[in-house]
Amino acid sequence: MPNSNLNNAPTAITTSAFSPQSSPLFKMNNPASIVKQPQARRRYSPQHFYQNRILDPYVHQAVSPITLRQLVFFGRNMQEDKLLKSANYVRTELPIRLAHRIRDFQNLPFIVGTNPHIELVYDLYWQAFEKIVKIPEIKTLEENDAFCEMIKGLLNDHLVVIPQLALGIMECSKHIPAAQVDQFMSKMLRSRISRRVLAEQHITLTSNFNSPNHMMTDRGYIGIIYTHIKPRDIVERTGLLAADTCRQASGGMAPPKVLLDGNIDAEFTYIPDHIEYILYELLKNSMRFVMQNGKRDPTTGELPPIQVTVCEGTHEIVFRVSDKGGGIHPEMESQLWSYAQSPAREAAMLLDRHAPSRAQSAQKSSFSTTASSPQQYKNQSLHLGIGLPMSRVYAEYWGGDLKVFTMHGYGTDAYAKFCKFGNIYENFDD
Amino acid sequence: MTLRSAGSSMAITSTKRGFLTNTEQKEVEDVVSFYDDKVTQYANQEIQTVTLKTLLGLGRSGSSNHEQGTAGDLAINLDVARYARKELPVRLARLIKATQKLPFIVGTNPYIKRVYKLYYDSFQSITASPEEIRNKDDLDRFAALLKGLVASHADVVPMLSQGFLECKKYMAKEDIKRFLDDMIRARIGIRLIAEQAISLREQRHEHETSSVETPHDDIVGVVHTELRPADLIRTCASFVQELCDVNYGSSPEVVINGQTDTTFTYVPVHLEYILCELLKNSVRATVEQSQKMGRSALNPHGIESDRRPSPTNYESGNSAVIVNQDDDQDITKRVNDFGHPPVEVTIAQGEREVTIRIRDHGGGISQEDFDAIFDYSFTTVKNENDASKDSSSDDSPYGVDSIFKGVSRLAMQAGLGGPIAGLGFGLPLTRIYAQYFGGDMHLISLQGYGCDVFLKLKQIDESLDDLQI
């Protein structure tokens, strides 16, 4: 989940005084350090099987999904009692959602469950579950602050989840059919977004409440939600970042320009992070294709620009990202939305065991300009190859969608649709 | 349409059957006796699943060697004709049987009845024609028969559409859809076989009657091996623009870009139909949207828009993102003298397929309508029988106050080659055609802005050899 350093909202994840061993940077490069030895034994012990009973009451409870609008109304005019209410909602809702996913893990074929990456994530989830379940009702602001610190720590620790899951799933691809893999991953990611939205929203509301940043709410920032998102700004931001990433990854080659038209000043309410994640992926992909296959203009020598069009309807806003990067080959097209990797990527991944740690650092720094890898552009092992399916999970989360159509030999068009009114319930299966 | 030959002794004895009734009011008599077994006999035969290879391969070698001359061509022609003579009755019989299964009340609808009669008569005609096709004369006769039949079936789809529109309350939507989908696919196959026989015969005839080598070695029956989509788009665009001018008084430009030199192997009539339907939709939507928004050459964004064109279009500097909102140089966006932004058609040649993308600024499709656009009989054109609609004259065609009412409308449409919209089967039919040879069609609505359509067509080559018609 990318950090939002960009729209002046306080960051959800801060680096407070951590010891070197527990610093995010250290953990990123040593995912194994997160897993402490004693827990490793627990996974196979019979005790674990019987302890599983703790999970049952939570698995059987239904989740309470919310809408963006509800979050906005709730988050305005924050008072102490409302803040505590929010804290307890998060406290009770998170374990339920976690429990459902833990059960999904437990339903995987045994051989898959023994894969070290899958085990790692499974264990992370268990630890989180146990920690949160132990917390009693939050009655004071101090208790809330402590709660927020704990949640922040968990969010931090769980940054490795996506790359670990991706790697694990890929390694297990011969044990489970592709359709099942995709379904499992979708479910996992949807639920993960839902938990992080809840957690980050509450943490941000807390820190806004504590700090003299009350005026944030007046300016439209309600937790991680912003009520005056302007397509023009968001495309400019993500365009700049995608350009930087591509420039560095290619060793200095100038990326194509991004042109913008349509209803660029239409305003709507959403979580900027989600839109930025999606647009960043789409623009990065387009730039990559254009830099590899685009035909330069004979007179200016420039690569064909990428055209972003913003279309505002009565209920929705669509960002169309259109490039002339030669299009996607039909064979690759069938794999676009799959979490299970293609053979080429698989080979690259296996050779590069540092993929998870680098991927995670890229996630964190995806909105900064630090170089991800000095490697050759084409061999970028950073590519977990799941940017598109993940973007779609984000898009579908509040009732939108993401579609990609390609014209092989010419270019590709991607359409990211978002609901304007925020009255759609969170989309995550249970 | 030929009369039943005297040799056939089956069922219907009414001598009136030979007439083709042209007015809708005239009662069409029951065309088949319950006891007529011939249809069932044929329908129960195995359909010889024609693969594309067989159909075209029969024709392919025919046109390659001009030296081998007419003898070679004749042999091929005879093969195809014999095949058609054997296969068509089976397929027609199946189609007739499927129609017989429709609910009784639906079968009494005059339009459905008329279609049924058409198919039944065609079936009778072909089965009555000699089974042996031995020589050129036989061939010519049979080809003429087929040609007549094909001509008489020209209006089948509009008739079916009208018929089922009237029967909406008697059949579930899904059942109608299934029936029509199957029927149309069967019809496409039948026509393909018939037209292949007809075209080959005509080509051979041309070969013979002209001493000059015909420049059409790239055409094999109904297939064109060097079809240039750009040319076909240009033709369809002119036709559609003319249609639009007649109906609305103005029309948008059609810009063609991308890999315009693309050529591929395909059945031109199919592509022509698809392009015309899609362009009709785009063009009509553009004009109606312009009217709605008050778009004009002076107000390219419409009257109510608070967007003012910015004096400088491009922001200089190192920004990675540049606003090109009002780029007058961009012909894919510039409105014409009537205030209409153009319809943009882009061609791409991929490794296995040709993709054609059609983009318009027609305002898109609303959420409620979107789920229904692939339904048969769905149309956004107002029914002129809806007297309840407000009589304030609207600019859309066929409104209550339209000068194009009733008989005059039909006459005009017939002269133009069809209406611009309103029959409600353009999109579903287009998709069936697109998917016929393994291609596809996707439509994306950008509500408030316009629509994008992606048409993927597979090249008709050896890779499709096993495709069953």
Distance CA B408, CA A13 (A): 72
User: Strand, helix or coil at B226?
Assistant: strand
Give the residue with greater pLDDT, B193 vs A287.
A287
Each residue's pLDDT tens digit, B88-122: 888 898 888 889 889 989 989 999 999 999 999 99
A-chain residues near B324 (CB < 8 A): 259-261, 307
Q: What integer pLDDT is reported at residue B452 of this predicted model? A: 97
Tell whether A412 is within 8 A of chain B (Cβ): no
Q: Looking at the predicted structure, is the pLDDT value of residue B74 above 50? A: yes
Task: Please indicate whether, in this complex, the C-beta atoms of B346 and A410 are within 8 angstroms of each other.
Answer: yes
- CB count within 10 Å of CB B62 equals 24
Task: Please indicate whether, in this complex, the C-beta atoms of A415 and B450 are within 8 angstroms of each other.
Answer: no
Instruction: Kindly report which listed range (A283-297, B14-28, B341-355) carries the lowest average pLDDT score.
Output: B14-28
Distance CA B96, CA B42 (A): 10
Q: How far is A305 from chain B (nearest CA, A)?
A: 10
Task: Please indicate whether, in this complex, the C-beta atoms of A405 and B258 are within 8 angstroms of each other.
Answer: no
Task: Please indicate whether, in this complex, the C-beta atoms of B366 and A314 are within 8 angstroms of each other.
Answer: yes
Each residue's pLDDT tens digit, B24-72: 444 445 555 666 677 777 777 776 666 666 666 644 544 444 444 444 5
Instruction: For this complex, say whether ipTM is above 0.85.
Output: no
Q: Which of B151, B287, B254, B239 is nearest to B415 (CA)?
A: B239
Q: Which of A303, A237, A192, A226 is nearest to A6 (CA)?
A: A237
Tell me the range of A230-234, A338-342, B46-50 where mean pLDDT is highest. Answer: A230-234
Q: How far is B166 from chain A (nearest CA, A)?
A: 33
Instruction: Kindly report which listed range (A8-17, A87-96, A320-329, B329-338) carries the lowest average pLDDT score.
Output: A8-17
Q: Looking at the predicted structure, is the pLDDT value of residue B9 above 80? A: no
Instruction: Kindly report which listed range (A2-11, A144-153, A322-331, B270-279) carries the lowest average pLDDT score.
Output: A2-11
Strand partners, B443: B453
Task: Please indicate whether, in this complex, the C-beta atoms of A314 and B448 are within 8 angstroms of each other.
Answer: yes
- B455 pLDDT band, cuts 50/70/90, is very high
Task: Please indicate whether, in this complex, the C-beta atoms of B367 and A257 are within 8 angstroms of each other.
Answer: no
Closest partner CB to B259 (pick from A236, A259, A409): A409
Instruction: Kindly report which listed range (B124-133, B218-227, B273-282, B314-323) carries the lowest average pLDDT score.
Output: B314-323
CA B243 to the chain's CA centroid? 16
Task: Please indicate whether, in this complex, the C-beta atoms of A405 and B444 are within 8 angstroms of each other.
Answer: yes
Instruction: Kindly report which listed range (A280-284, A309-313, B318-322) carries the lowest average pLDDT score.
Output: B318-322
Residue A83, amino acid: L
Interface of chain B toward chain A, CB-CB under 8 angstroms: 258-259, 319-325, 327, 333, 346-353, 355, 357, 364, 366-367, 442, 444, 446-450, 452, 454
Q: Which of B119, B147, B125 is nearest to B7 (CA)?
A: B125
A-chain residues near B335 (CB < 8 A): none
Strands A258-262 and B321-323: parallel
Phi and psi, residue B283, nearest 5°: -65, -45
**First vs last C-alpha separation in chain A:** 21
Q: Which of B347, B232, B339, B236 is nearest to B281 (CA)?
A: B236
Strand partners, A405: A413
In the 8-state DSSP scheme, what is residue A19?
A: -
**Average pLDDT in the B194-200 region?**
87
Q: What integer pLDDT is reported at residue A209 of this predicted model? A: 86
Distance CA B93, CA A77 (A): 74
Distance CA A158, CA B51 (A): 56
Q: What integer pLDDT is reported at residue A211 of this predicted model? A: 80
Q: What integer pLDDT is reported at residue A335 of this predicted model? A: 84
User: Strand, helix or coil at B382?
Assistant: coil
Task: Please indicate whether, in this complex, the C-beta atoms of B320 and A257 are within 8 angstroms of each other.
Answer: yes
**Average pLDDT in the B217-222 region?**
72
Q: What is the H or E stretch that residue B146 is in?
A: helix B136-152
Task: Please indicate whether, in this complex, the C-beta atoms of B447 and A403 are within 8 angstroms of each other.
Answer: no
Q: What integer pLDDT is reported at residue B22 of this predicted model? A: 56
- B230 pLDDT band, cuts 50/70/90, is very high
Distance CA B3, CA B121 (A): 9
Give the residue with greater pLDDT, B127 vs B72.
B127
> With the CA atoms of B392, B398, B403 and B405 taken in that order, what torsion angle do they form, in degrees rounded to the nearest 10?
-120
Instruction: Kindly report which listed range (A24-38, A127-141, B201-215, B246-260) carries the lowest average pLDDT score.
Output: A24-38
Nearest chain B residue (CA) to A233? B321
Q: What integer pLDDT is reported at residue B320 of this predicted model? A: 76
> By the 8 A CB rule, do A283 and A325 touch?
no
Q: How far is A287 from chain B (nearest CA, A)?
A: 11
Q: Looking at the predicted structure, is the pLDDT value of residue B262 above 70? A: yes
Average pLDDT over chain A, rounded to an integer: 80
Q: How far is B223 from chain A (nearest CA, A)?
A: 23
Q: Looking at the predicted structure, is the pLDDT value of residue B318 above 60? A: no
Q: What integer pLDDT is reported at residue B221 of this predicted model? A: 76
Give the residue with greater pLDDT, A407 vs A367.
A407
**Average pLDDT in the A374-387 region?**
45
- CB count within 10 Å of CB B468 equals 10
Q: Looking at the predicted structure, is the pLDDT value of residue A348 above 70? A: no
Q: In the structure encoding, which two tokens stand for residue A62, read together? A: 């239904």
Q: Residue count of chain A, please give it.
A: 430
Distance CA B103, CA A228 (A): 57
Distance CA B111, CA B28 (A): 10
Q: What integer pLDDT is reported at residue A260 of this predicted model? A: 93
Q: Which stretches of A255-404 are DSSP H helices?
A: 272-293, 330-333, 343-351, 355-364, 387-397
B-chain residues near A405 (CB < 8 A): 357, 442, 444, 452, 454
Q: How far is B447 from chain A (nearest CA, A)?
A: 5
Each residue's pLDDT tens digit, A45-92: 556 777 788 888 898 888 888 888 888 888 888 889 999 999 999 999
Angle, helix A161-171 to helix A355-364, in steps of 10 degrees: 150
Q: What integer pLDDT is reported at residue B6 of this predicted model? A: 38
Q: Which residues of B244-255 are buried (b: 16+ CB within 10 A; e: fewer)?
A: bebbbebbbbbb
**Average pLDDT in the B379-389 region?**
50
Q: Which residues of B324-353 are buried (b: 16+ CB within 10 A; e: fewer)?
A: bbbbeeeebbbbeebbbbbbbbbbbbbeeb
Q: Structure pTM?
A: 0.81
Nearest chain B residue (CA) to A244? B320
Strands B450-458 and B353-359: antiparallel
**Average pLDDT in the B399-417 region?**
52
Each residue's pLDDT tens digit, B429-441: 999 999 988 899 9
Each residue's pLDDT tens digit, A261-282: 999 889 999 999 999 999 999 9
User: Strand, helix or coil at A413?
Assistant: strand
> By the 8 A CB rule, do A26 and A360 touch?
no
Q: What integer pLDDT is reported at residue A215 of this predicted model? A: 63
Each residue's pLDDT tens digit, B136-183: 888 889 989 999 999 998 888 888 888 888 888 888 888 888 999 999
Nearest chain A residue (CA) to B443? A405
Q: Looking at the predicted structure, is the pLDDT value of residue A189 above 70? A: yes
Q: Looking at the predicted structure, is the pLDDT value of residue A220 above 70? A: yes
A-chain residues near B448 (CB < 8 A): 263, 311-314
Q: Looking at the predicted structure, is the pLDDT value of residue B193 above 70? A: yes
Tell whether A302 is within 8 A of chain B (Cβ): no
Mutate to test the interface with A, among B263, B310, B321, B328 (most CBs of A within 10 A): B321
Q: What integer pLDDT is reported at residue B409 of this predicted model? A: 57
Q: What is the H or E stretch that residue B104 is in?
A: helix B104-107
In the 8-state DSSP scheme, what is residue B307?
A: P
Burial of A222 (0-12, 13-18, 19+ CB in 10 A): buried
Phi and psi, residue B258, nearest 5°: 90, -145
Q: What integer pLDDT is reported at residue A426 of this predicted model? A: 83
Tell whether A312 is within 8 A of chain B (Cβ): yes
Instruction: Kindly report which listed range (A36-45, A211-220, B356-365) carries the lowest average pLDDT score.
Output: A36-45
Task: Please indicate whether, in this complex, the C-beta atoms of A408 and B348 are within 8 angstroms of each other.
Answer: yes
Distance CA A221, CA A226 (A): 5
Q: What integer pLDDT is reported at residue B208 of this predicted model? A: 73
Mutate to test the interface with B, among A246, A261, A307, A320 (most CBs of B within 10 A): A261
A-chain residues near B450 (CB < 8 A): 311
Nearest chain B residue (CA) to A262? B325
Task: Please indicate whether, in this complex, the C-beta atoms of B348 and A330 are within 8 angstroms of each other.
Answer: no
> By the 8 A CB rule, do B53 and B466 touch?
yes
Question: How many residue pairs from chains A and B have C-beta atoms closer than 8 A?
Answer: 115
Average pLDDT over chain B, rounded to an integer: 77
Tell me the range of A94-103, B61-70, B128-137, B200-209 where mean pLDDT is highest. Answer: A94-103
Q: Looking at the predicted structure, is the pLDDT value of residue B331 above 90? A: no
User: Strand, helix or coil at B332?
Assistant: coil
Distance CA B376, CA B107 (A): 18
B-chain residues near A260 (CB < 8 A): 321-325
